[in-house]
Amino acid sequence: MLQLQSPNGDTRVLLHSCCAPCSSAIIEYMLANGLRPTVFYCNPNIYPRHEYDIRKQEAIRFVTAQGLDFVDADYDHEAWLRDVAAGLEDEPERGRRCLRCFLLRLEATAAYAAEHGFRLFTTTLASSRWKSLEQINEAGRIAAGHHPGTLFWEQNWRKGGLQERRNRLLQEYGFYNQLYCGCEFSMKRLEKAPEVPARPQAET
């Protein structure tokens, strides 16, 4: 198992969660290393609302089974379209729209951390092979810079056996395994794909 130590020595971590499949192994490894995450669910990018509700309930199911706190940032997709996607509808995956999306979600995470006494926050977004780790870390650093006293943990959650453990937990818990990032733009990309594997890695 991956040996984890937080960058500032804190054991209390605010973990931005994108979905249950991507969160499960990270949470398990944190707990095994003496870290206690509080899960912050902020994903207004997810479309449609039915998809959002399914993903959120799966996240709640796993988090509560671990005896951890779950914070629901609620859902406002219209505001997300206005603040993130307007003018960037034709951007490719890993383009400017994705960076702006990460910024919005991690800004909300950093704000909650500052308001509730968390000095450290990180995100399960960094576990997805579909996303740019550089963009995620940039967004996290910017968000932390807006909230003095908070630090973004730039951990690569794809390494150290986490991906393999994630896939096992997906099977053990029977998680709903989404096939696209969440927004309507990634949904369109999926619809245009000539072939979709039976059980792809979840995008977040």
Q: How many domains does the chain have?
A: 1
64 located within any domain = yes
203 located within any domain = no
Confidence (pLDDT) at 192: 66
25-53 per-position pLDDT tens digit: 999 999 999 999 999 999 999 999 999 99
113 located within any domain = yes
pLDDT (average), residues 97-113: 98
3 located within any domain = no
204 located within any domain = no
Between CA 171 and CA 153 the distance in angstroms is 28
- Distance between start and end Cα atoms, the chain: 23
Residue 79 has pLDDT above 70, yes or no: yes
30 located within any domain = yes
35 located within any domain = yes
Residue 199's pLDDT band, with cuts at 50, 70 and 90, is very low
Average pLDDT, the chain: 92
Confidence (pLDDT) at 179: 85
199 located within any domain = no
Spatial neighbors of 114 by CB under 8 A, at least 6 apart, are 147, 148, 149, 150
Which CATH number goes with the domain that contains 186? Answer: 3.40.50.620
Residue 196's pLDDT band, with cuts at 50, 70 and 90, is very low
Domain residues for 29? 12-192
DSSP one-letter code for 199: S
Residue 171's pLDDT band, with cuts at 50, 70 and 90, is very high
